[in-house]
Structure 1
């Protein structure tokens, strides 16, 4: 199938809990292209003969039934992957596919077995069900990133202030109060984002819609940096919680973190999405543990009149000044990471989605402020300072609970919620890549679902990047924080600035109030971003700034290449190839009537007359590559069936309309797929045709874009090799490509 997907509109968001809609991938034709298509159709009419002859020549019934609609796919209790019946009236085929055979070479066979043990069998007859979360489930699932930052945000702030000695620690309460106000302001501003973008408004979407392409890409760069560091920082903090409770493991910090990343990689590549109620438990456990910790600590402090305990003797290594305070503020503000998650996942809520999302966001911000303020207050009252061997939260838990079961519960809950926050990035990062690829700013391999219905390429890239960052900084949270603040608040700033422009253009009811809230949130986020960029530049923030710059350069070059390919693929009357001969009026000689499987099913033909053909031409769009593949198939003077896999009924009707304007010269079958993928339903349909007529030789003719330069090849999908691997076990199926060079 031609690699000609280009964005023509549609919506999506970076942290939507559902899979992005592939209908946004399929290109539409403008009026100029439709005029050319009609001219091409008239030319085809002169050379291809009567369309009825082509239909009568078909040796199969192309209507093999339909897949269930998304509304008919009901999720199981603990899984979003739902078995569905194959086409052609066959029962579900389970978790095997035609391409599940092991390679014949010994290394390949070993690798195949390892892959299947770790990832499970490919899912052929499976679809992804929609889920809607109620507020009590959505709160912990979508708040894990934000609430878990309480485990490292206050400590990051104190780690800077302690450089100024006791005098520096004296600024902890004012700085914490400022950060709490920042949380409130940004939370209120994201309530306005939910109102403006009820279908999900990620920073990339909002900034791109309102500020332009480059600001949108900068916001995407900030988001992707945020997600990579969410994995690295969350795992580093989670491992720190473990080593605080078990100091003997401190020397294995890096190996433990790498093992955790590998486990997250394997789990997400399996494509399993458990029900939200299971993910809710760690977050609620963490909330309970921290509230219990603060309550016990405040009760103890009340016994001595809330007089702060003196911290241990400190030796100041820096003078207390504006620079130190600004650095501490920027580090502590990392406790806000993930605060935008709910505004991005509005479609994941039960109706009325936007109202439930705003309510949940309010709860999350309230909990975040309470947990953050309570932790900092307890640190101040207990005189706790950051230590190299034990986290601040662990020290507080020791003081409040001793070393008993509640201490173990607190550390376990902390580690669990931090790992859950890391896993959240595995849902979000591939979706940002999906949106970038949809808009031609990233390789189209990131549009593709893997054989376990997960965005495998994005998951692998995130794991590699997070592992490199984690190992490079030795798994130390304090070293990773300077990189974290830059990406987080860059995305915050551009998102809120985009909302200011949105309200200024729209000027609907209450627009002034909404604009004020978003402007306040954007201004404060910009202050944190600039502060972090300046004060932490030499401490590691330069890495994030450099990464953003390289990201912009690479994504713009990728877009330039896809624009060039798009222009080359546009229909031009003088560039259209036409078949020189029509199919014989009576069609080719065929064996007995279709549907009974008569004729030779084994590969025993010895003469050309014994081979009976059917050419299947999968088409994503009617462009030059697709028209060339159709001309090639028709020129063989054998029956031809054009096949279009559509992700929805609207797109299916649109393609049928284009086909009709072209002239309907060849038989067309449109399959509406619930897979949210292209290859899986294509394979399913071809297998169903083979079951219907095992005596036929099916030739799958794919239009394929061939790039001139080797470095451009990774930007184009290679569907033909995937189909060959998948269909190899079935006899009498040929997969061939019609190259289109650009």
Structure 2
């Protein structure tokens, strides 16, 4: 098993190798930017998809929605560059909220990001499968199997191998996708400029007068299009993963990422409107656009494969954003402590596994339907955006260093705009899944506090008073050894028992009188110097009579006496041998540890073959 693990995730890394795991800017782009950049594969499409409902003429509003989203990208980018500067230890929205607002705001940001990152994985994988199904429709029936294979067999496994290896794996697909999209935009714009057709044909500008129904559709389109902005905050969560100077490199990477995102988002939206593309079942609009621009040539298939790969690997943004956040929550005692520990490859492997499992649940529940998953998307991340920007305003007001007024104004603008987006998403997507997120966030906050309460209770109970001196109690140690017969395992356990106490009793539970007689006779002939008590169980229960015997001993022991249960247990040489034996010893051990004032010890006996 150990060798198989080494093959899968590689040899363990020394703590001093952490510096080698830090990323240069060009590699960090592939790790942290794959989510927002890959959203070009579905973000612009979602805008048009909602604005082309059969009963409404609202296509002409697509450009207004796209311009609003581009402006929002700029505001959020500048704001999060400041978050990276103020929080060089990472944590993003959670750290900002914790420092400036306190527990509730911090946990709200953490719950929002927890949900959004898991949805990032689910949406990225599902949309990646959509891209390949568009090119090869025969794979439609294998959609779910492909989703789960990519999740567990590719993404989880690569991330468990470490940051450096995952960045090496994801560099080529990310930059290949960026090249393909920029080539598509450049070629499309060249055709527009060199041709004699309108930049945006009249059919793509038609729209009804704005009324409440049309406004609702426009707001829904805006809310779905904002899915292209998820992941912008990931760099601020992972500042410590950059090579020195960490903050400067993180800020520059944020600017590069957003510049590419704006160019690709605006370019693809323009080309969709220029070609007046409409939804086609099982065919993405990016596929339609690539075919309209290049035909079914090499470049078409290049873009489809690159889109599939980058959408799959876009989930890596979440794999590099959520586990570090979970580690911070674990250190603050809001999540299980083991989430703060790094694994063999210096990754937060428990967080990686947890993220994979929850993403799989979303994929299975929603059958890998990208449109339905996106309905849950974006609310969490924009809520964390708003909390983060508001927290930064408080930070600048408290610090009041040089230029703080301009910085505070920028973050105030960010907080107001993203807060409005939160309200829009809540209204526009409420019936399409946002209500579920509004329930999930308070539920997660409750769970965080419940975990924290448990750790606090445990700390108070385990704290050692300064005047607590260790003195002998003067009591006896009564040792009880449950036995299943006369074997070397029992002999080894009794030998250890005699080192602990002279008060030893062996207990055998017989399910029939003939077996009881045989064991008593063997014990008498063996004569280990320990009294054997045979309990008869006509109903064939082993644990029941044994527990009654232990309770009887408990009732007679003195106030300073101890009871020690020694459980004899043989350990098989190969793991699969264990499956051939009953687990009575394991069950007995797990049940006895919950009894007060009883010490339970397993005495192992190693089998050699």
**C-alpha distance in 2, partners of 1:531/1:231?**
24
Residue by residue, what CA displacement relative to the aligned partner does 1:119-163 show, whole Å, maximum 9, x if unpaired? 457748786432333322322332111111111111111111112
Residue 496 (structure 1) aligned with residue 389 (structure 2): yes
Q: How many residues align structurally?
A: 490
Q: Conserved in 2, the CA contact under 8 Å of 1:208 and 1:216?
A: yes
Correspondence for 2:318:
425
User: Is structure 2 residue 184 aligned with structure 1 residue 293?
Assistant: yes
Instruction: Give the Cα–Cα distance (whole angstroms) in 1 for the partners of residues 207 and 88 of structure 2.
Output: 52
Looking at structure 2, the residues matched to 518 and 213 of structure 1 have their Cα atoms a distance apart, in angstroms, of 21
Do structure 1's residue 203 and structure 2's residue 203 form an aligned pair? no
CA gap 1:315/1:729 in 2 versus in 1, 3 angstroms: farther
Is the contact between residue 83 and residue 92 of structure 2 (CA under 8 Å) also seen in structure 1?
A: no
Q: 2-side partners of 1:577 and 1:280: how far apart? A: 59
Residue-by-residue CA offset, 1:59-94 (whole Å, 9 max, x unaligned): xxxxxxxxxxxxxxxxxxxxxxxxxxxxxxxxxxxx
Quick check: 2:58–2:206 contact (8 Å CA) kept in 1? no
The 3 A distance-change label for structure 1 pair 536 and 118 is farther
Partner of residue 177, structure 1:
67
Query: Once superposed, what is the RMSD of the aligned Cα atoms?
Result: 3.5
Q: How does 1:225-374 map to 2 (within 5 A)?
A: 225-263=115-153, 264-271=155-162, 273-274=164-165, 276-302=167-193, 303-309=195-201, 320-374=213-267
State the Cα distance separating 1:343 from its structure 2 match: 2.2
Correspondence 1:401-550 to 2 at 5 A: 401-450=294-343, 453-550=346-443
Aligned partner (choices 118, 125, 134) of residue 24 of structure 2: 134
The C-alpha deviation readout for 1:18-62, integer Å capped at 9, x for no partner, is xxxxxxxxxxxxxxxxxxxxxxxxxxxxxxxxxxxxxxxxxxxxx
Residues 504 and 515 in structure 1, CA contact (< 8 A), matched pair in contact too: yes
Report if the CA contact (8 A) 1:118-1:266 is conserved: no
User: Greater relative contact order (Cα 8 A, min sep 6): structure 1 or 2?
Assistant: 1
Distance apart, 1:218 and its partner CA? 0.7
Alpha carbons of structure 1 residues 571 and 261: separation in structure 2 relative to 1, 3 Å: same
SS at match of 2:73: helix
Q: Does 1:150 align with 2:43?
A: no
Judge conservation of contact 1:158–1:172 (CA < 8 Å) in 2: yes
SS of equivalent to 1:572: coil
Preserved contact between residue 165 and residue 314 of structure 1 (Cα < 8 Å): no
CA distance in 2, matches of 1:358, 1:125: 29
Q: Distance in 2 between matches of 1:366 and 1:707?
A: 59
Residues of 2 paired with 1:492 and 1:578: CA distance? 57
User: 2:103 pairs with 196, 202, 213, which one?
Assistant: 213
Change beyond 3 A, Cα 1:415–1:121: closer
Deviation at 1:319, TM superposition (A): 7.8
Deviation at residue 329 of structure 1 after TM alignment: 0.7
Q: Which residue pairs with 2:268 in the alignment?
A: 375
Runs (4 or more) in structure 1 with deviation over 6 Å come to 124-127, 312-316, 706-710, 727-730
Distance (Å, rounded) in 1 between the aligned partners of 2:435 and 2:174: 33
Counterpart residue number, 2:523:
none
Q: Deviations over 1:159-210 (max 9, x none)?
A: 1111266731100011100100000011111122123223334111111111
Answer yes or no: is the 8 Å Cα contact 1:194–1:201 preserved in 2: no
User: Which digits, 9 at most, give the CA deviation of each residue in 1:284-339, with x for residues without a partner?
Assistant: 111111111111111222202434346699999x9852211111111101110111
Corresponding residue number in structure 2 for 1:595: none
Distance in structure 2 (CA, Å) of the matches to 1:707 and 1:384: 66
Matches within 5 A, 1:54-203: 116=5, 119=8, 123=12, 128-130=17-19, 131-163=21-53, 167-203=57-93
- 5 Å matches for 1:1-80? none
Q: State how far apart, in whole Å, the 2-side matches of 1:729 and 1:241 are.
A: 54
Q: In the TM superposition, what whole-angstrom CA distance separates every residue of 1:256-303 from its partner, at most 9, and x where no partner exists?
A: 112211212333345574163442211111111111111111122220
Q: Distance in 2 between the 1:533 and 1:522 partners?
A: 16
CA distance in structure 1 between the partners assigned to 2:469 and 2:385 by the alignment: 48
Instruction: Specify the SS of the correspondent of 2:127.
Output: helix
Contact 1:229-1:484 at 8 Å conserved across structures: yes
Of 436, 445, 451 in structure 2, the residue corresponding to residue 552 of structure 1 is 445
Distance change >3 Å, CA 709–CA 552, structure 1 → 2: farther
Identify the structure with the greater helix proportion: 2
Equivalent residue, structure 2, for 1:88: none
CA contact (8 A) 1:219 1:494 kept: yes
Q: Quick check: 333-342 or 121-130, which moved more?
A: 121-130
State the distance in 2 between where 1:294 and 1:568 align.
64
1:72 aligned partner: none
d(CA) in 2 for partners of 1:391 and 1:292?
18
1:353, CA displacement in angstroms?
Answer: 2.5
Tell me the CA shift for residue 347 of structure 1.
2.7
C-alpha displacement at 1:407, in angstroms? 0.7
Give the corresponding residue for 2:553: none
Q: CA deviation at 1:452?
A: 5.5
SS at match of 1:249: helix
* 1:235 to partner: Cα distance: 0.5
Distance 2:406 2:14 in 1: 50
**Gaps (5+ residues) in structure 2?**
475-490, 500-591
For 1:244 and 1:428, the matched residues in 2 are separated by 30
8 A Cα contact 1:162 1:314, kept in partner: no
Report the alpha carbon displacement of residue 531 of structure 1 after superposing the two structures with TM: 1.1
Q: TM-score, normalised by structure 2?
A: 0.73
**Structure 2 counterpart SS, 1:274:** helix
Answer yes or no: is the 8 Å Cα contact 1:226–1:484 preserved in 2.
yes
1:224 and 1:387, CA in 2 relative to 1: closer, same or farther beyond 3 A?
same
- Aligned to 1:483, the other structure's residue is in SS state coil
Could you tell which deviates more after superposition, 547-556 or 271-280?
271-280
Sort the Cα spacing of 1:289 and 1:501 in 2 relative to 1 into closer, same or farther, 3 A.
Answer: same
